[in-house]
């Protein structure tokens, strides 16, 4: 009878464990990261009775979570990808909104060139000139506004990098503490600490959304968490913090470092929101800022160059209409020498959207672009013979030390420094400075095709000149030496250039003199209007408007790709979550069935115990009687 009672008690206790586990599963059905728990039973060793065995009941062998390391790892990876895609899409969306918002640069360019055309239609009208100045200031405000918005977005990225690093460090500490608790629990031989394991997995999943990590299980049931190229975040029960430090060239720009070593690991980080922040900054925002600056440089350079070829209402040659910031040079904070680097734009047609690093190896200077590619330089680096590369002119000086370096950003701050120099509308040079006329006694059919200024700084530009042809193929200027001429060839002198159509005859003359009717002349204003479509960048193939179109296109393309990536990553995450939950998730129907099953087992075991008690009592009663 004692064996029957023991058997019933074992079944009752086993059913009780099953009921408690089902209740725990149901209670945590909506707990994030919870893995349903399963009870494993094993039959007790039977007792031999002659030629047979009698069972002695059941033992609860373990309570374990339903878990797949493979599926959980896949979920962490998918979560990291989705988090990165979400952050990246949000940032590119903000940048697209800035470009398409009220500060749309194309609208400002159209308004400005519309005002240039209005001045060309009425070059002496004061109101048309005043409107043009207002539109010029509006264009400058748009450049500055966009640059300011880009800077604000960059500052926001900096703040998010700092906040994300802090969150990663907090999660790393928590994982290390759980590692210790889990290792202690296993060493106590009390079975699997399922809830502690779930808490750790939930933190691993969270940290994987913050940064791409590698999870390495250890033999003592702890896990190591690695980031980048092996930087440890968690090693057993010890956590290692990430840090942030100012960029070696720009103190306003944060880089991610190993806090203990100080080594910059920004370039090693991928995945998660931190990877998205760093990738967006270097892959989208920096090129966008550089392209905006390149557009500003092209606008100022092309318009100023054409304006300088005209004459204003005061009879003076046109000056600069726009000012723009030049290249920025930043010395590394680790520099030990006293070397200096000066940078300027030498050929805007060769200017790129890249940044560069000029380094000194102890004997010579070397240039690399932002992608780490070596750039060939011409020249010797002196003021008389500067280094030239990709449209830049670089002058080095001082006494640099081996390893010193300087970052050069040709266009990064150009838009922020874009401004209008002219405040007096009378100084807008709508007229051409020179007038070319055909001699009244000419016998040939040659006529003036074009009159252009090639060097507005020439002191003799406005001096009168006379061109007399000695023969149909030679001419003299102001009685000077005879010069050969072929049809289509430009005749140049004192900073101007003249082209003729037709064939001149011997003795034909052409006269050049300063324009005395600048008030009603619109020739330079018409030329200024053509600057809108003038090829300035990329070897003369890209106009200012097209350069801005390239900016909107590259940002728009990045945004479109980010949306597609988010859709893809969300689908992968949902699939991974569904697969993981199919194993580890709580199924209420299944738990309801288990509840009934364990309840019936409990009741049946209680009945066995009751029966054993009744039989035992009957036996006692029989003995007493």
User: Is it the case that residue 612 has pLDDT exceeding 70?
Assistant: yes
Rounded to two decimals, what is the model's pTM? 0.87
Residues 588 and 328 sit within 8 Å (Cβ to Cβ): no
- Position 190 scores a pLDDT of 79
Residues 272 and 205 sit within 8 Å (Cβ to Cβ): no
Place of tokens 């020249």: 379
Give per-residue pLDDT as tens, 570-603: 999 999 999 999 999 999 999 999 999 999 999 9
Which stretch of DSSP H or E encloses residue 450? strand 447-453
One DSSP character per residue, 195-206 reads HHHHHHHHHHHH
Pairwise CA distance, residues 222 & 197, whole Å: 10
- Position 52 scores a pLDDT of 85
Closest CA to 522 of 596, 432, 428: 432
Pairwise CA distance, residues 371 & 306, whole Å: 35
Closest CA to 135 of 168, 165, 105: 105
* For residues 53-68, average pLDDT: 90
User: Is it the case that residue 152 has pLDDT exceeding 60?
Assistant: yes
- Position 1 scores a pLDDT of 42
Closest CA to 24 of 71, 97, 16: 16
Pairwise CA distance, residues 364 & 70, whole Å: 54
Pairwise CA distance, residues 322 & 420, whole Å: 5
User: Is it the case that residue 368 has pLDDT exceeding 90?
Assistant: yes
Q: How far is CA 525 from the centre of its chain?
A: 40
State the sign of the Cα–Cα–Cα–Cα dihedral 73, 78, 83, 84: positive
Residues 386 and 393 sit within 8 Å (Cβ to Cβ): yes
| Per-residue pLDDT band at 625 (split at 50, 70, 90) | low
List CB contacts of 602: < 8 A, sequence separation 6 or more: 12, 15, 16, 19
Tokens, residue 79: 């979560």
- Position 54 scores a pLDDT of 87
By DSSP bridging, strand 474-477 and strand 356-360 are unpaired
* For residues 235-255, average pLDDT: 94
By DSSP bridging, strand 340-345 and strand 434-438 are unpaired
Give per-residue pLDDT as tens, 205-214: 999 999 999 9
Q: Strand (E) positions, 91-246?
A: 213-217, 223-227, 231-235, 238-239, 242-246
Q: How many CB atoms lie within 10 A of CB 260?
A: 12
State the sign of the Cα–Cα–Cα–Cα dihedral 73, 74, 76, 77: positive
Pairwise CA distance, residues 29 & 588, whole Å: 8
Give per-residue pLDDT as tens, 228-238: 888 899 999 99
By DSSP bridging, strand 474-477 and strand 242-246 are unpaired
User: Is it the case that residue 104 has pLDDT exceeding 90?
Assistant: no
User: Is it the case that residue 2 has pLDDT exceeding 60?
Assistant: no
- Position 188 scores a pLDDT of 86
| Per-residue pLDDT band at 143 (split at 50, 70, 90) | very high
Closest CA to 482 of 585, 360, 472, 283: 472
Edge-to-edge strand ranges of the sheet holding 491-493:
447-453, 496-501, 491-493
What average pLDDT does the structure give for the chain? 92
User: Is it the case that residue 439 has pLDDT exceeding 90?
Assistant: yes
Give per-residue pLDDT as tens, 454-498: 899 899 999 999 999 999 999 999 999 999 999 999 999 999 999
Percent of the chain clearing pLDDT 70 (strictly above): 99
* For residues 436-459, average pLDDT: 92
Q: How far is CA 580 from the centre of its chain?
A: 33
- φ and ψ of 194, to 5 deg: -55, -45
Residue 223 forms beta bridges with which residues?
A: 217
* For residues 298-324, average pLDDT: 94
- Position 102 scores a pLDDT of 61
């Amino acid at each position: 009878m004692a064996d029957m009672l023991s058997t019933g008690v074992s079944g009752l206790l086993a059913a009780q464990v099953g009921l408690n586990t089902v209740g725990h599963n149901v209670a945590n059905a909506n707990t994030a990261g919870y893995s349903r728990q399963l009870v494993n039973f094993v039959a007790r060793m039977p007792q031999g009775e002659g030629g047979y065995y009698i069972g002695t009941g059941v033992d609860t062998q373990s309570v374990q979570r339903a878990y797949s390391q493979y599926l959980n790892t896949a979920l962490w990876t998918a979560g990291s990808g989705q988090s990165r895609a979400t952050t990246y899409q949000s940032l590119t969306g903000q940048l697209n909104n800035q470009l398409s918002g009220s500060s749309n640069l194309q609208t400002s360019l159209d308004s400005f060139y519309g005002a240039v055309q209005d001045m060309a239609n009425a070059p002496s009208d004061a109101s048309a000139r005043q409107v043009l100045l207002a539109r010029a200031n509006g264009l400058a405000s748009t450049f500055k506004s966009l640059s300011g918005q880009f800077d604000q977005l960059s500052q926001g990225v900096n703040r998010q990098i700092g906040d994300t690093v802090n969150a990663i460090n907090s999660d790393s500490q928590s994982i290390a503490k759980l590692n210790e608790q889990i290792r202690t629990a296993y060493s106590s031989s009390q079975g699997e600490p399922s809830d502690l394991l779930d808490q750790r997995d939930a933190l691993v999943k969270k940290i994987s959304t913050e940064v791409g990590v590698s999870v390495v299980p250890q033999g003592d049931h702890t896990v190591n968490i690695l980031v980048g190229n092996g930087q440890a975040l968690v090693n057993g029960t010890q956590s290692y913090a990430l840090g942030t430090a100012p960029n070696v060239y720009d103190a306003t720009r944060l880089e991610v470092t190993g806090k203990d070593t100080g080594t910059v690991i920004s370039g090693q980080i991928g995945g998660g929101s931190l990877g998205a922040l760093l990738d967006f900054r270097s892959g989208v925002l920096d090129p966008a800022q550089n392209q905006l600056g390149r557009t500003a440089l092209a606008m100022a350079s092309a318009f100023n160059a054409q304006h300088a070829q005209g004459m204003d209402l005061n009879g003076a040659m046109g000056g600069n209409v726009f000012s723009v910031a030049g290249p920025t040079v930043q010395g590394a904070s680790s520099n030990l020498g006293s070397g200096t680097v000066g940078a300027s734009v030498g050929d805007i047609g060769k200017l790129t959207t890249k940044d560069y690093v000029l380094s000194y190896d102890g004997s010579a200077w070397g240039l690399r672009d932002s992608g780490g590619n070596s750039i060939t330089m011409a020249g010797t680096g002196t003021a008389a013979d500067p280094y030239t590369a990709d449209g830049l002119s670089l002058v080095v000086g001082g006494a640099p030390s081996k390893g010193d370096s300087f970052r050069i950003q040709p266009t990064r701050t150009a838009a922020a420094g874009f401004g209008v120099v002219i405040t007096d509308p009378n100084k807008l040079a709508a007229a051409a400075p020179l007038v070319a006329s055909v001699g009244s006694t000419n016998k040939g059919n040659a006529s003036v095709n074009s009159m252009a200024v090639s060097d507005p700084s020439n002191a003799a530009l406005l001096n009168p000149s006379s061109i007399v042809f000695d023969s149909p193929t030679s001419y003299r200027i102001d009685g000077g030496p005879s010069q050969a001429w072929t049809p289509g060839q430009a005749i140049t002198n004192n900073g101007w250039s003249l082209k003729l159509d037709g064939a001149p005859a011997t003795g034909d003359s052409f006269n050049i003199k300063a324009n005395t009717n600048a008030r009603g002349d619109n020739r330079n204003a018409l030329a200024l209007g053509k600057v809108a479509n003038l090829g300035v960048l990329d070897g003369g193939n890209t106009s200012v408007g097209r350069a801005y179109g390239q900016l909107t296109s590259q940002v728009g393309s990045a945004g479109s790709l980010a949306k597609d990536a988010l859709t893809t990553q969300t689908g992968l995450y949902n699939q991974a979550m569904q697969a993981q939950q199919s194993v580890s998730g709580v199924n209420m129907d299944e738990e309801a069935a288990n509840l009934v099953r364990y309840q019936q087992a409990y009741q049946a075991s209680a009945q066995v115990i009751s029966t054993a008690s009744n039989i035992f009592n009957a036996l006692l009663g029989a003995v007493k009687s």
